[in-house]
C-alpha cells in the first residue's frame, strides 16, 4: 500500500525567540525538519511539508535536500486541521495511507513509525493516533478509550474530570489515516471554538460519528514524542540525541572515552575500534573508518570521509575533505575542501587556505600519498602537492609541488652574535 506524509512546519515558534523558523533550528548541524524527513523517507513515496512562517526559507531547505518532498503554503494559518487540508488537492485521488507528523519532533524514529503503521494495518483501522505514557501528564491531552480498547476521544486537561486527570496516556500528535475514508473530514471540520481554528484532533470525533475504526498506538519510548518549543527544549533534545547516538556507536564497537563531552551527528558512520576522545564535536554527514583516533577537542564539520588508521588530533578541524589511510593530522590544523592521500603527515598549525573572500569561491587542496607537511604551513588553494613531496615548516605554498620534491618559502635564518649584549650597553 502506498504511504504519503503530511508534515506540519508552518508555525513561527514564538517561544524560540528567533528570526529562524522553529523547524530550521539545528541539532548537530541538521534542522529539526530534516530529522522528520529522514525518518519517513524509507517509509513514504511522497511527502508534503506545510509551510507558513518564513515559507521561502523552509521551502529552500526542503527543495535542496529532499527529492521526494514538496512544500505547500498555509496562509493564513488557521489551525492544525486547516494545515492538513492544504494538502488535500494534491491527495484528491490518493487511496493509500497518510502519515501526519509535526516538524518539531526530531526524536521520533523510523522504527517507531514502522511499528505504528503495522499496528494500524493489523487493527484494520481507518484512523490511528500515536500515544505515549507519562508518569506526569500535566498539561497534556488525555487519551480516553472505549471498553474494547479502541479510541473514544482526546480530552484536553482543562476539560478533564477528576477521574480523567489520573490517566497517564497522552496524545503524541502523530496520525495514520486511511486517506480515502478520512479525507472528507477536512472539508467538514468546524472552527467553532475560542481560537476560531480548525483542530486536527476533531477528526477523531468525526470518525466515530461516521462509524469508522479509530485506534491509538502506545509508543514504546515516550521521549520520542518530545516536541521542541523553546531553546531549553532544543538543548534537552540534543542531550537525548547525544546519548542515543553515542550508545549506538559504543554497542557497535567504537570507544567513546567520555560520552558526556562527545557529540556525534546521526548521519556519521564510524568503523570498529575507532576511539573518539573527549570534547569532540562531529556534525553533518561523515564516514570514519576503522582503528582511527579522533580528538580530543577535534571538530568534524560535515562532508568528511576518513579511511582506516587515521589520526585527527587535538584542535584539528576538518570540513568537506577525504583523508586516506594511515594519515596523521596531530594538532592545531584546519583541513577544508581537501583530498589527502594515504601515509600523509600534516604538521602542527597547518592551514588549507581554501576560501577567496573576494570571489566567495572555495578551491581544493590535494595532497597525494606519502606527502609530509611541515609545521605552520599554509597551503593556498587551488594547489596540488604530488606524491612523496615534502613541505618545509613555515612555508606558504601557492604553486603545485612535483613528486618527491622539497618545497619551502621561508627566509634563511640569520644569527647576529652578541645582539642582546649590545642592546643593553
Instruction: Report the catalytic residues.
Output: 331
Between CA 208 and CA 376 the distance in angstroms is 72
**What is the 3-class SS of 12-33, one letter each residue?**
CCHHHCCCCCHHHCEECCEEHH
Burial 352-369 (b: 16+ CB within 10 A, else e): bbbeeeeeeeeebbbbbb
Residue pair 174/99 in contact (Cβ under 8 Å)? The answer is yes
**For residue 130, what are the contacts with CB-CB under 8 A and spacing of at least 6?**
112, 116, 172, 173, 174, 175, 176, 216, 217, 218, 219, 225
| Closest of 106, 52, 133, 136 to residue 227, by C-alpha | 106
For 421, the grid coordinates are 649584549
Task: Give kind and range of the element (H or E) at residue 424.
Answer: none
For 144, the grid coordinates are 480516553
For 154, the grid coordinates are 482526546
Backbone φ and ψ for 378, nearest 5 degrees, come out as -115, 125
Q: Measured at the alpha carbon of residue 352, what is the angle toward residues 346 and 358, in degrees to the nearest 5?
A: 175
Task: Give kind and range of the element (H or E) at residue 65.
Answer: helix 55-65
For 343, the grid coordinates are 601515509
Residue pair 176/5 in contact (Cβ under 8 Å)? The answer is no
Helix (H/G/I), strand (E/B), else coil: 349: coil
Between CA 35 and CA 316 the distance in angstroms is 28
Backbone φ and ψ for 367, nearest 5 degrees, come out as -115, 115
Query: Sign of the CA dihedral 98, 103, 109, 110?
Result: positive
Amino acid at each position: 500500500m502506498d504511504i504519503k506524509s503530511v508534515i506540519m512546519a508552518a508555525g513561527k515558534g514564538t517561544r524560540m525567540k528567533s528570526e529562524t523558523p522553529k523547524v530550521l533550528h539545528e541539532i548537530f548541524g541538521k534542522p529539526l525538519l530534516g530529522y522528520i524527513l529522514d525518518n519517513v523517507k524509507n517509509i513514504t513515496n511522497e511527502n508534503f511539508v506545510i509551510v507558513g512562517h518564513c515559507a521561502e526559507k523552509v521551502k529552500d531547505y526542503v527543495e535542496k535536500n529532499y527529492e521526494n518532498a514538496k512544500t505547500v503554503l498555509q496562509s493564513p494559518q488557521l489551525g492544525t486541521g486547516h494545515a492538513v487540508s492544504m494538502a488535500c488537492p494534491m491527495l484528491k485521488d490518493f487511496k493509500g495511507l497518510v502519515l501526519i507528523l509535526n516538524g518539531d519532533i526530531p526524536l521520533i524514529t523510523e522504527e517507531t513509525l514502522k511499528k505504528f503503521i503495522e499496528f494500524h494495518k493489523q487493527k484494520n483501522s481507518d484512523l490511528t493516533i500515536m500515544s505515549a505514557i507519562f508518569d506526569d501528564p500535566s498539561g497534556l491531552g488525555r487519551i480516553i478509550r472505549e471498553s474494547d480498547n479502541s479510541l473514544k476521544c482526546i480530552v484536553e486537561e482543562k476539560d478533564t474530570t477528576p477521574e480523567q486527570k489520573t490517566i497517564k496516556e497522552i496524545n503524541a500528535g502523530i496520525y495514520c489515516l486511511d486517506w480515502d475514508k478520512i479525507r472528507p473530514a477536512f472539508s467538514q471540520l468546524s472552527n467553532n471554538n475560542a481560537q476560531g481554528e480548525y483542530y486536527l484532533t476533531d477528526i477523531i470525533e468525526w470518525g466515530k460519528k461516521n462509524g469508522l475504526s479509530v485506534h491509538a498506538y502506545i509508543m514504546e519510548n515516550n521521549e520520542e514524542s518530545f516536541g521542541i518549543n523553546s531553546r531549553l527544549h532544543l538543548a534537552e533534545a540534543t542531550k537525548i540525541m547525544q546519548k542515543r547516538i553515542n550508545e549506538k556507536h559504543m554497542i557497535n564497537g567504537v570507544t567513546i572515552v567520555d560520552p558526556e563531552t562527545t557529540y556525534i551527528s546521526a548521519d556519521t558512520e564510524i568503523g570498529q575500534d575507532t576511539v573518539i576522545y573527549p570534547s569532540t564535536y562531529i556534525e553533518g554527514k561523515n564516514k570514519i573508518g576503522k582503528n582511527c583516533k579522533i580528538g580530543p577537542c577535534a571538530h568534524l564539520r560535515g562532508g568528511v570521509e576518513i579511511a582506516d588508521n587515521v589520526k585527527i588530533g587535538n584542535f584539528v578541524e576538518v570540513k568537506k575533505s577525504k583523508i586516506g589511510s594511515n594519515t596523521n593530522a596531530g594538532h592545531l590544523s584546519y583541513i577544508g575542501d581537501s583530498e589527502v592521500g594515504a601515509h600523509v603527515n600534516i604538521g602542527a598549525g597547518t592551514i588549507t587556505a581554501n576560501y577567496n573572500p573576494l570571489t566567495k569561491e572555495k578551491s581544493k587542496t590535494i595532497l597525494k600519498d606519502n606527502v609530509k607537511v611541515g609545521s605552520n604551513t599554509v597551503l593556498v588553494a587551488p594547489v596540488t602537492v604530488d606524491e612523496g613531496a615534502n613541505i618545509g615548516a613555515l612555508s606558504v605554498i601557492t604553486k603545485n609541488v612535483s613528486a618527491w620534491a622539497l618545497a619551502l618559502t621561508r627566509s634563511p635564518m640569520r644569527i647576529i652574535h652578541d645582539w642582546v649584549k649590545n642592546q643593553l650597553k
